[in-house]
């Protein structure tokens, strides 16, 4: 989409645009919010259920154009109304909106409306955002392939034979295909960073306590958080500015008081790598032929860091991400209790009130049954659960000790040792568990692509993850932005080209 006016000859190009570029075009009269929203709606119409059939969108907001018109009217009167004025947001459908259903991807919650906005949605609307659409997710955010009973499988726009990662894969695939400007995912084990890695995006998993979970369907409140996905570090930082902060309805966010900077945009330093010391967690790299493409991309990224002023050191200690998933993470142990508490609080307004009700209804994807059955056998507060919490605390100490020993600002590693999995398979060797179990912040940035193939014309995206100490999002953003400015590894998929309008 190109937008021109008589007094400005410079066109506005929708594909791969940024929040800053949109606001510049709005301020000089080249773009309205209505035209922007119409442009994204046209792309969703062309590519989500047609063309490459990405199947990323559960529901388009029926009020999106009305909201755009309201924002345009306010723009004429008052100028930009907030840092996200007119910005179309893709929202994972386990986050409540007052004007649309919230299904968590499950037929058991079809048409379920809470009639309120989640805290982060309220903050985004106050900042001027348009919630453009609710996106598909792996049902109840339980796993990483983005398959749900409400919509089915979402496909990777770079390789239709592969999944888009997950569980926030609808947001990831939609942003990669330019269905919106930025988006929201939730992350219990890998679920913001996995689709970011698989779709050549930036994804931020904030420190537990930086972003409220109020109004988000829970999986594991011990590990759950929400965060932004975007095509650039700057756009992710702009969204984080809006959604970070203390919310009395989520008491864990009291820990962020005094630890939120005036703006994460202050960390957008072109020279953000210079003088930084980066630790490479070599135990999170694979050693087999299947890992070759990822390892090659990572070595290229490390070279870019060195060339632009970072000191890169190998971390000798071994951490086993598979062990953390199987023996330390409490996600599956929390699910029955935390989801049940959430559903029960709605009383008769909710169609189901517990995990047992979901199972009894039969209204869930068959592939989810083993996970739900397993969760029914666990509970919080058991000796096994408490032992996992003990190991969690040990991991937190271990990470800080490693960072102190090597005097590093961040630890880097591939988000996934091998490429994102094919449709019908399960994700393997994802490394994001270190951030989700510890609760420490992590950012994924585009790290390049695999070798091209018939199924993946420009290759399959690969993501690099950066882990930091608690509440060091400013430092991580500075490193990520500095890397991005010197690497420029994001590329849009060829399956969803610009429309002729």
Q: Where do the DSSP E strands lie in 136-281?
A: 147-148, 152-153, 182-187, 202-205, 225-230, 277-281
Of the chain, the end-to-end C-alpha distance in Å amounts to 6
Residue in 166, 163, 477, 428 with CA at minimum distance from that of residue 294: 428
Instruction: Give the whole-angstrom CA distance, residue 96 versus residue 115.
Output: 8
Q: Tokens at residue 67, please?
A: 């909201």
200 is catalytic: no
**How far is residue 122 from each of residues 229, 266, 316, 490, measured CA to CA in Å?**
18, 24, 44, 30
Contacts of residue 398, Cβ cutoff 8 Å, sequence gap at least 6: 317, 319
DSSP H or E run through 464: strand 461-467
Return the residue matching tokens 């829970």: 218
425 is catalytic: no
| Number of residues that make up the chain | 501
Residue in 207, 133, 145, 209 with CA at minimum distance from that of residue 171: 133
Q: Which of 167, 200, 212, 354 is catalytic?
A: 167
Q: Which of 32, 108, 191, 450 is catalytic?
A: 191
Q: Which of 32, 92, 134, 436 is catalytic?
A: 92
Q: Would you call 315 helix, strand, or coil by DSSP? A: strand
Contacts of residue 497, Cβ cutoff 8 Å, sequence gap at least 6: none
Report helix, strand and coil shares of the chain as percent, to nearest 5: 40, 15, 45
49 is catalytic: no
Q: How many CA atoms lie within 13 A of 156 on its CB side?
A: 34
**How far is residue 188 from each of residues 144, 209, 330, measured CA to CA in Å?**
11, 13, 10
Report the phi/psi class of residue 146: left, alpha or beta, with left for phi > 0 and alpha for psi in -120 to 50: left
Instruction: Give the whole-angstrom CA distance, residue 155 versus residue 193.
Output: 17
Instruction: Give the whole-angstrom CA distance, residue 8 versus residue 30.
Output: 7
Q: Which residues are catalytic?
A: 92, 167, 191
């Amino acid at each position: 989409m190109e937008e021109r006016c008589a007094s400005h000859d410079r066109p506005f190009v929708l594909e791969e645009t940024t929040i800053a570029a949109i606001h510049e075009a709005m301020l000089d009269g080249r773009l309205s919010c209505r035209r922007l929203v119409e442009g994204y709606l046209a792309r969703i119409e062309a590519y989500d259920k047609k063309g490459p059939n990405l199947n990323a969108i559960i529901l388009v907001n029926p009020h999106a154009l009305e909201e755009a018109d309201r924002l345009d009217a306010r723009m004429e009167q008052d100028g930009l109304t907030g840092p996200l004025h007119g910005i179309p947001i893709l929202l994972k459908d386990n986050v409540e909106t007052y004007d649309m259903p919230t299904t968590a991807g499950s037929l058991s919650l079809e048409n379920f409306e809470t009639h309120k906005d989640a805290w982060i949605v309220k903050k985004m609307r106050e900042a001027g955002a348009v919630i453009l659409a609710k996106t598909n997710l792996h049902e109840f955010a339980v796993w990483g392939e983005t398959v749900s009973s409400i919509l089915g499988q979402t496909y990777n726009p770079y390789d239709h034979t592969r999944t888009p990662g997950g569980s926030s894969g609808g947001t990831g695939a939609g942003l990669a295909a330019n269905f919106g400007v930025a988006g929201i995912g939730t992350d219990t084990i890998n679920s913001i960073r996995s689709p970011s890695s698989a779709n050549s995006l930036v994804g931020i998993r904030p420190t537990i306590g930086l972003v409220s979970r109020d109004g988000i369907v829970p999986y594991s409140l011990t590990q759950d958080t929400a965060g932004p996905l975007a095509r650039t570090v700057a756009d992710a930082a702009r969204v984080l500015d809006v959604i970070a902060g203390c919310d009395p309805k989520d008491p864990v966010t009291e820990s962020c008081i005094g630890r939120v900077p005036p703006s994460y945009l202050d960390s957008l330093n072109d020279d953000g790598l210079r003088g930084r010391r980066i630790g490479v967690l070599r135990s999170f790299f694979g050693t087999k032929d299947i890992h070759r493409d990822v390892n090659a991309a990572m070595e290229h990224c490390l070279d870019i860091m060195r060339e632009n002023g970072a000191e890169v050191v190998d971390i000798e200690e071994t951490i086993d991400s598979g062990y953390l998933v199987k023996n330390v993470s409490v996600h599956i142990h929390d699910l029955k209790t935390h989801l049940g508490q959430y559903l029960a609080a709605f009383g008769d307004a909710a169609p189901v009130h517990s995990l047992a009700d979901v199972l009894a209804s039969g209204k869930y994807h068959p592939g989810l049954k083993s996970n739900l059955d397993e969760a029914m056998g666990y509970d919080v507060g058991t000796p096994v659960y408490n032992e996992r919490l003990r190991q969690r605390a040990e991991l937190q100490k271990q990470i800080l000790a490693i960072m102190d020993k090597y005097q590093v600002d961040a630890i880097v590693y591939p988000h996934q040792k091998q490429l994102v999995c094919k449709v019908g398979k399960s994700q393997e060797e994802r490394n994001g568990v270190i951030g989700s179990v510890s609760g420490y912040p992590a950012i994924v940035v585009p790290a390049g692509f695999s070798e091209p193939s018939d199924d993946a014309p420009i290759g399959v995206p690969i993501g690099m993850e950066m882990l930091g100490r608690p509440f060091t999002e400013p430092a991580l953003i500075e490193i990520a932005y500095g890397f991005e400015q010197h690497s420029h590894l994001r590329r849009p998929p060829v399956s969803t080209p610009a429309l002729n309008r």
